[in-house]
Amino acid sequence: MTLQDAAPGTPSSDGDWLRVHPASPFVRGWVALAAVGYFFGRETFERMLQGRDLIDPNLNGRAPLLLFGGIALLLLTVAGFILSWYFTRYQVAGGYVRVNTGFLFRQQRQARLDRVQAIDIVQPLLARIFGLAELKFEVADASESAVRLAYLRLDDAKQLRATILARASGAVTGPDIAPAPEAPEYPVLSVPPQRLVGSLILSEQSVFILLGAVASVVLSTLTENRAFFLYLIPAALGLAATYWSSFNKGYNFTAAISPDGIRLRYGLLDTQAQTLPPNRIQALRVVQPPLWRMFGWYRMQVNVAGYGLVGNGAEAGSRTTLLPVGSKSDVMRMLSLVLPDPGTDQPERVFTAGLDGLDSDGGFVTTPRRARFLAPLGWRRNGFAATGTALLLRSGRWWHQLVVVPHQRTQSMALEQGPLARLFRVADLVLHTTAGPVSPRLIQADEQEALQLFDAQAARAREARKRQTSEQWLAQVAPTPVVEPVETEPVETPDLDKLDHQTYPKQEDRHHG
């Protein structure tokens, strides 16, 4: 095949060009087919309901023409599907994944395996019925969107994920395409459905709905206008859809740890399994809306390169959620996975102070008292603490928020000061991170403190970056004095075993021991 030579300098022996599952265009394009069916079926159906002839009598003469047109359209669609399937091919070879698509406008995407940021297996309902899955991965090499392979058989998708992760981690190198074994995984936590429902009922959204409902009842009694409620029907439908989508996305949420990274699984009808390799989380935040405080619930969100760029709000929202709702011990467990080395002797105390603390407990430095007029409620909470491995930014008296940025993930930083802040001698420190729900900002810190932190943080980030030398995370975690450690080691799992025995039980001890 000539395409095999498309990439220069890579051995062509490994990795054949493979095709996705033949049924995939139909699974993906069922909307188009359904639309065609809908347009032809609706008229007939309406007529049936109205008890008229099934076919418009005016159309009698043109019926064959219409039929012919319909069939032609159908055939064209199917032909398009087949062509798109035929021209979609992928290959895993030489440290790259390549995906070719399109037959009129050809497109070749190639992604470096050691730049894989996250890898998802997505199963929309229809695909799930057919046992198919979409493999989607984010790559940090300036490409604007994820690389998608839709659809593969679920087992193949899992296999490919294991292969990609094994190669990305550096556990497997060399030309042979021997399928990597799936890394073992250990369940960490799951979110029971009743808690999810509770969290939805107690969400900020519900408060607004309640307020809106009260307002509309008051308005309608005042104006004695019953028709008013009619206008609320679309709004109610929209709200129901949002609740449903949150429920559908958050249902059966489970997190597990494997040497490949953190595995997140969730979904009622459409299921999704995300894998976040270690060290790929750019920033993280834990939030607690006021109503959730009754039950001590928290939500965790992350920035992962590529995730934030997804246009679709709901999809991006669910993918960047590390924990939809969880207790404090759940939060601590997830934190220990994300940040295996908290960089402090008393992680429990520091992070608890970050979640709920005030003033200087846990070593936090807050807004100086003189600036309390700038933030009458928040000044005792707005603050920062730096551990050996991450910077913790705390804010919000009502909406508790804790942002954690690992030192080696800091991209750039800026100190900002407006005229009012200058009057009170405070300044904001903004950490820049990849696009996502988390935007780390230290609010109204003392000028001198901020300046010191600015310098210290630059130095810490520099140090952390120096320690992190390779994109292949296994090479970082278990460095060996050999020049090319991964090449000389057997291509089996002792390394993986060593890794998870090293990290996993230790983290468990740290917060529960």
Partner 1 sequence: MRTEAIDPPGIEWRRVSPKYVTVRLVEWALGNLLTVGVLSVPLILVQLGWWRWPPLWLAISVPAAMLVLALWRLVLIPRQVRAIGYAERDDDLLIRRGIFFQRTMVVPYGRMQYVDVSVGPVERGLGLCTLKLHTASAGTNAQLPGLPAAEGARLREQLSARGEARLAGL
Q: Which parts of this chain interact with partner 1 (CB under 8 A)?
A: 115, 117, 140, 142, 280, 282, 305, 408-419, 422, 425, 427, 430, 432-435, 439, 447, 450-451, 454-455, 458, 461-462, 465, 468, 471
Task: Using DSSP, state whether 302 is helix, strand or coil.
Answer: strand
Hey, what are 512's tokens? Answer: 């529960």
* Least distance in angstroms from the C-beta of 479 to partner 1: 16
* Least distance in angstroms from the C-beta of 66 to partner 1: 51
Beta pairing partners, 445? 427
Handedness of CA 345, 409, 180, 257 (dihedral sign): positive
DSSP, res 326: E
Give all strands (DSSP E) within 345-396, no chain letters.
365-366, 383-386, 390-395
* Least distance in angstroms from the C-beta of 340 to partner 1: 18
Handedness of CA 416, 400, 203, 208 (dihedral sign): negative
Nearer to partner 1, 76 or 414 (CB): 414
Task: Using DSSP, state whether 325 is helix, strand or coil.
Answer: strand
Nearer to partner 1, 199 or 457 (CB): 457
* Least distance in angstroms from the C-beta of 444 to partner 1: 13
The answer to whether the CB of 273 falls within 8 A of the CB of 264 is yes
Nearer to partner 1, 360 or 411 (CB): 411
Nearer to partner 1, 28 or 280 (CB): 280
Hey, what are 201's tokens? Answer: 């009922």
The Cα–Cα gap between 460 and 453 comes to: 10
* Helix intervals (H) in 435-484: 447-467, 473-477
Hey, what are 292's tokens? Answer: 């959730």
* Least distance in angstroms from the C-beta of 401 to partner 1: 18
How many residues in total does the chain contain? 513
Nearer to partner 1, 137 or 292 (CB): 137
Element (H, E) at 66: helix 63-86
Hey, what are 267's tokens? Answer: 């979904």
Nearer to partner 1, 59 or 420 (CB): 420
Nearer to partner 1, 13 or 411 (CB): 411
Contacts (Cβ under 8 Å, ≥6 apart) of 422: none
* Least distance in angstroms from the C-beta of 225 to partner 1: 34
DSSP, res 173: -
* Least distance in angstroms from the C-beta of 442 to partner 1: 13
Nearer to partner 1, 117 or 382 (CB): 117
* Least distance in angstroms from the C-beta of 425 to partner 1: 7
Q: What is the residue type of 305?
A: A
